[in-house]
């Protein structure tokens, strides 16, 4: 990912928000061959800083080759929207606005207990907002242990982190405001980008 300075963020709160809201993200590896899997991520923090957790199927090629210390790249794409140059008052090319986080890191394979704890937290995150939540604690322990046999859990210890917030910061006031009004009439993604543009409060 190439991030021109104007779109680069160092805001760890923004990073946490993008990861938390877009936890169905991409686990990318290059071991033996380029591979990428959509999986559910959690961001955690301990005394050494942030780290990611995810799990994939043991049937997955990545699960067969990944070992402690291997490098992976994780991609979290947030809201994104096409920005038409027809919304500017001058000739220009169209583009895409988006927020994303990429984390490069090294793999640490989970023990069974770490995998259990990961699944418990993951289930809690998504179930707590359901009408009749089903937490891991409500499931039979035997059932959970059986399900876990098919899962390959890993932690990713960051070595590099990129936060991109491309929100037309390079535009002048009139164009910036017009982009927002155009997006406000769009779909959820577009309205979300409009909200984010308002929030950076460039003018």
> Which residues of this protein are in contact with a copy of itself, per CB under 8 A?
1-2, 4, 24, 26, 28-30, 33-38, 40, 56-57, 59-63, 71-73, 75, 77, 80, 82, 84-86, 91, 93-94, 96, 98, 100, 102, 104, 119, 123, 126-127, 130-134, 139-140, 143, 147, 187-189
For residue 200, the minimal CB distance to a copy of itself (Å) is: 19
Q: What angle do CA 99, 104, 107 make, to 5 degrees?
A: 135
Please say whether the beta carbons of 128 and 84 come within 8 A.
Answer: no
Least distance CB 130 / a copy of itself (angstroms): 5
| Nearer of residues 49 and 133 to a copy of itself, judged by Cβ | 133
Q: Which is nearer to a copy of itself, 85 or 170 (CB)?
A: 85
3-class SS string, 43-71: EEEECCEEEEEEEEECCCHHHHHCCCCCE
**Residue 47 C-beta: closest distance to a copy of itself, Å:** 27
Q: Among residues 13, 105, 130, which one has the least CA distance to residue 54? A: 105
Nearest to 97, CA basis, from 164, 163, 162, 166: 166
Minimum distance from CB of 76 to a copy of itself (Å)?
A: 11
């Amino acid at each position: 990912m190439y991030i021109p300075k104007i779109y680069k963020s160092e805001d760890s709160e923004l990073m946490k928000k993008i990861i938390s809201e877009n936890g169905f993200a991409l686990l990318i590896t290059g071991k033996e061959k380029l591979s990428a899997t959509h999986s559910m991520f959690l961001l955690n923090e301990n005394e050494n800083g942030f780290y990611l957790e995810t799990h994939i199927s043991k049937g997955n090629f990545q699960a067969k080759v990944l070992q402690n210390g291997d490098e992976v790249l994780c991609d979290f794409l947030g809201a994104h929207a096409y920005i038409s140059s027809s919304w500017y008052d001058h000739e220009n090319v169209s583009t895409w606005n988006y927020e994303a986080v990429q984390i490069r890191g090294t793999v640490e394979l989970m023990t069974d207990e770490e995998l259990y704890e990961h699944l418990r937290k993951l289930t809690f995150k998504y179930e707590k907002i359901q009408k009749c939540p089903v937490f891991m604690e409500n499931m039979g322990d035997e059932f959970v242990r059986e399900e876990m046999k098919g899962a390959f859990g890993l932690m990713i210890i960051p070595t590099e982190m990129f936060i991109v917030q491309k929100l037309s910061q390079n535009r002048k006031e009139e164009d910036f405001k017009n982009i927002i009004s155009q997006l406000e009439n769009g779909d959820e993604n577009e309205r979300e980008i409009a909200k984010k543009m308002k929030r950076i409060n460039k003018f």
